[in-house]
Amino acid sequence: MGLPTYFISHGPGPWPVMPHLQGAMARLEQSLQDIPRQLGVRPRAILVISAHWEEPDFSLTVATQLKPIYDFFGFPASAYQLSYPARGLPELANHVRDLLESADISAQLDTKRGLDHGAYVPLMVMYPDADLPVVQLSLKSNLDAAQHVALGRALAPLRDEGVLILASGMSYHNLRRLGHLAKVPSESFDRWLYESLNGFRGVERVARLVDWISAPAARDAHPREEHLIPLMVALGAAEEEPATCVYRERDILGGVAAASFRFGNAATPPEHLTKLSI
């Protein structure tokens, strides 16, 4: 079944270089550091889908060197000196575009874009040496859940080629309701999300997630759903496989509940992986 896929809650901004956030993010940091162990093999490349890149059509980074984008505001100067010198992999970007076009999904190549913080911040924790090639794939700006599940389905063959599909967002994202104001809506939505991903499988699970707007406190948890939509990609690429909660907290920064999930089993035997067909 290839590598598992992941939806991760990536945390607030450039938290790894912010001392006042590091304690609050300790459990998240541990969960991200544990992903390489869970995989049991070293991926050949990483395809990351971040909440912080939207385009009218799905787009892929094709540069050979991916510079960090400082797409956040109001943080200390150290946050704007973060470096994650990831190299791109144009062959993979072209391969992904071919997979999408074979599924009648339009995709573009972007020669200039680097990695946004939804991509490089968690990667800094997971693979601090920046020694794995990375391609970033955008969301489609209509944020249609079913289309992003279909995107995930088209990406599924990558799992057998040693490519880690990493979907980065947040299971709760309402910047107007943080602290104690977030406690009730984030816990309500978190409970629904956990039960939906763990209690159902296949078509029924996909249907529940596509209809996420019917969940308790849905719009309180996601006034705009760009931080939830990456989950649909990870789900679509492994829709028949079990979900495992790999990170869950109920009181981040005074009240936010958040979670991350793996789809598929950990520690896939390395001999099962085939070479990248690119």
- pLDDT confidence bin for 1, thresholds 50/70/90: low
Over residues 19-31, the mean pLDDT reads 84
Tokens 């993979």 — which residue? 92
Q: Are 47 and 165 in contact (CB under 8 A)?
A: yes
Over residues 120-145, the mean pLDDT reads 97
- pLDDT confidence bin for 71, thresholds 50/70/90: confident
Structure tokens at 228: 């939830």
Q: Average the pLDDT over each of 45-49, 61-65, 252-256 and give the range with the smallest value.
A: 252-256
Element (H, E) at 263: strand 256-263
**271 or 1, higher pLDDT:** 1
Tokens 């029924």 — which residue? 204
Over residues 246-255, the mean pLDDT reads 90
| Domains along the sequence of the chain with CATH | 5-272 (3.40.830.10)
Q: Beta 58-61 vs 243-252: how paired, if at all?
A: unpaired
In order of 4, 127, 200, 250, the CA distances from 28 in angstroms are 19, 15, 25, 12
pLDDT of 230 strictly over 90? yes
- pLDDT confidence bin for 270, thresholds 50/70/90: very low
Over residues 148-172, the mean pLDDT reads 98
Between the two ends of the chain, the Cα-to-Cα distance in Å is 20
**11 or 262, higher pLDDT:** 262
pTM here is: 0.94
- Give Cβ neighbours of residue 69 (< 8 Å, ≥ 6 apart): 113, 114, 115, 116, 117
What are the tens digits of pLDDT across the range 90-114?
A: 999 999 999 999 999 999 999 999 9
- Mean confidence (pLDDT) of the chain: 92
Separation of alpha carbons 239 and 237, rounded Å: 6
The per-residue DSSP string of 62-86 comes to --SEEPBP----S--GGGGG----E
Over residues 117-143, the mean pLDDT reads 97
Which residues partner with 164 through β-bridges?
46
Tokens 């990483």 — which residue? 46
pLDDT at 126: 97
- pLDDT confidence bin for 278, thresholds 50/70/90: very low
Q: Average the pLDDT over each of 21-30, 138-147, 225-234 and give the range with the smallest value.
A: 21-30
- pLDDT confidence bin for 21, thresholds 50/70/90: confident
- Closest CA relative to residue 8, chosen from 271, 191, 228, 210: 228
